[in-house]
Structure 1
Amino acid sequence: MNFHAIKAIYVFEMARWWRTIMQSIISPVVSTSLYFVVFGAAIGSRIESVEGVSYASFIVPGLIMLSLLQQSLSNASFGIYFPKFAGTIYEILSAPISHVETIIAFVGAAATKSIVLALIILATANLFVDVQIQHPVWMVIFLTLTAITFSLLGFIIGIWADGFEKLQLFPLLIVTPLAFLGGTFYSITMLPPIWQTISLFNPVVYLVSGFRWSFYGTADVDIAISLAMTLVFLFAALGIIAWIFKTGYRLRT
């Protein structure tokens, strides 16, 4: 394992993130804080509690997960797209660093950024509402697995995209709507039976449900199923990336 190469790419990606701290950290935190204020005050005043948890506290895990999904995709996709755009990707492909090491470096940096931001948002949430974490170990597990999975997905998008417009296409048109319809601001048990069934086809439901369970011990889907589905998404993304490097899709041309 070429740890020097991994460290070089990882440190470079993290340094690039810190140089844009206003866009990378402050902007997402402010945006999420507005969700707390608007939804917590406007809707929370009409909904006293959901599954025994105050509404303002109930939406905290969902908002953290929403930010985590968006930032993981964005960080990873831009991280690998810029070397393609600048032409430096060929230096990486020809360097004495394996495909596995390349993925570890780029995805590791993207996941680290997303997890740090999620923890900052969690700390910020405590300023607005009372947040309890009943299962902190599971919270870290779901946080880490989700960050890695969507960083891998972002890595795939960054390779697939041949323009800046396409980098935003998947997150804006697919991931964000799925996140809003995946129980971020509500429990799917509040929906009519037919829509509860339809919601189970939304992959984000399992991520939000498992993550919310680690906070309050309540979940829309069994915790084992949520964990299993998260791992399925993870290995599916790894399979696609393995195929990309094997075939050279969008890398050699």
Structure 2
Amino acid sequence: MNPIAFLTIYRYQMARTWRTLFQSVFSPVISTSLYFVVFGSAIGSRITEVDGIHYGAFIVPGLVMMSLLTQSVSNASFAIYFPRFTGTIYELLSAPLSYMEIVLSYTAAAVSKSILLATIILLTASIFVPLHIAHPVWMVLFMLLTATTFSLLGFIIGIWADNFEKLQLVPLLIVTPLTFLGGTFYSVQMLPPFWQTVSLFNPVVYLISGFRWSFYDIADVPLSISLLVTGAFLAICLAILAWIFKTGYRLKQ
């Protein structure tokens, strides 16, 4: 492990965040706050509580997780796609860096950005509703695990995409719909039995369920299963990345 190389790439990626502060931080925070205000006011006036939790407080973990998922994918995918688009990726590949150092540095930067953004959203939400975090250690663990997993997914998307349209394809058509249908604004237990069964095939359900448990001790699926599904998804992403660097897929063309 070359710490100097790791820190160089990491600092460069983080510096880009500060240069585009409004786009990277303020814009997602404002968008999520609008979700909170609109859904919390419109739906909250009709659904006062879910599982004994005030509806406004109930949707906070889902909104934080939605932001964490989308930003992790977006940050990591663009970070690796842009060097490929400009051709500077070959300078990186020819440098005395291992593939692990490249992946770790880009992933660490994407995770840092996503965690920072999720923390700001969480603090913003506390202005609107009183929050109670029953298991803060588990909350941080879920944030780190989720941000890491989806940053790796974003890294894969950034290598796979050969134009800006494909770069946005998976986040817009797959990640975002799965997040909305994953229990962000409702409990899966509120659905009819058939749709409850269908929802269990959505991996985002397990992420949001585990994250919400860390706040309120309530979950749609057992915590152990949430961790197992997230860990399995992480392992799949690592296996795909190992194959990409072994074969040079879309990197050495």
TMscore range, shorter length: over 0.9
Identity %: 69
Structure 1 runs (4+) greater than 3 angstroms displaced: none
Task: Provide the residue aligned with 1:84 in structure 2.
Answer: 84
Q: Which amino acid aligns with 2:106?
A: F
What is the match of residue 188 of structure 1? 188
Partner residue in 2 for 1:75: 75
Partner of 1:107: 107
Instruction: Tell me the matched-pair count.
Output: 253
Partner of 1:21: 21
Q: Match for residue 125 of structure 1?
A: 125
Cα displacement (A) at 1:157: 0.2
- Residue 49 of structure 1 corresponds to 49
The separation in 2 between residues aligned to 1:173 and 1:18, in whole angstroms, is 28
Query: Aligned partners of 2:45, 2:132: CA distance in 1, in Å?
Result: 20
- For residues 143 and 114 of structure 1, the distance between their equivalents in structure 2, rounded to whole angstroms, comes to 9
State the alpha-carbon separation in 2 of the partners of residues 182 and 113 from structure 1.
Answer: 23
- In structure 2, what residue type is equivalent to 1:11? R
- Please report how far the alpha carbon of residue 48 of structure 1 lies from its aligned counterpart in structure 2 after TM superposition: 1.1
Q: How does 1:223-234 map to 2 (within 5 A)?
A: 223-234=223-234
Counterpart-to-counterpart distance in 1, 2:251 and 2:25: 30
Which residue identity lines up with residue 216 of structure 1 in the other structure?
Y
Tell me, yes or no, if structure 1 residue 150 matches structure 2 residue 146: no
Deviation per CA, 1:173-205: give whole Å up to 9, x if none: 000000000000000000000100000000000
The residue type equivalent to 2:163 in the other structure is: G
Task: List alignment gaps of at least 5 residues for structure 1.
Answer: none
Q: Which amino acid aligns with 2:47?
A: I
Q: Deviations over 1:78-135 (max 9, x none)?
A: 0000110111111111111100000000011001100000000000000111111000
Give 3-state SS (helix, strand or coil) of 2:201's partner: coil
Letter paired with 2:214: S
Structure 2 distance, partners of 1:131, 1:167, is 35
1:203 paired residue number = 203
Deviation at 1:8, TM superposition (A): 0.4
Offset from partner CA, 1:134-162 (integer Å, 9 cap, x none): 00000000000000000000000000000
The equivalent residue for 1:164 is 164
Residue type of the partner of 1:41? S
**2: CA distance, partners of 1:112 / 1:236:** 22
Separation in 2, partners of 1:18, 1:196: 42
- Whichever residue aligns with residue 39 of structure 2, its letter is F
Give the aligned residue type for 1:100: M
Partner of 2:3: 3
Amino acid at match of 1:49: E
Cα RMSD over matched residues? Answer: 0.5
Letter in 2 for 1:234: L
Name the amino acid aligned to 1:76.
A
Which residue is equivalent to 2:242? 242
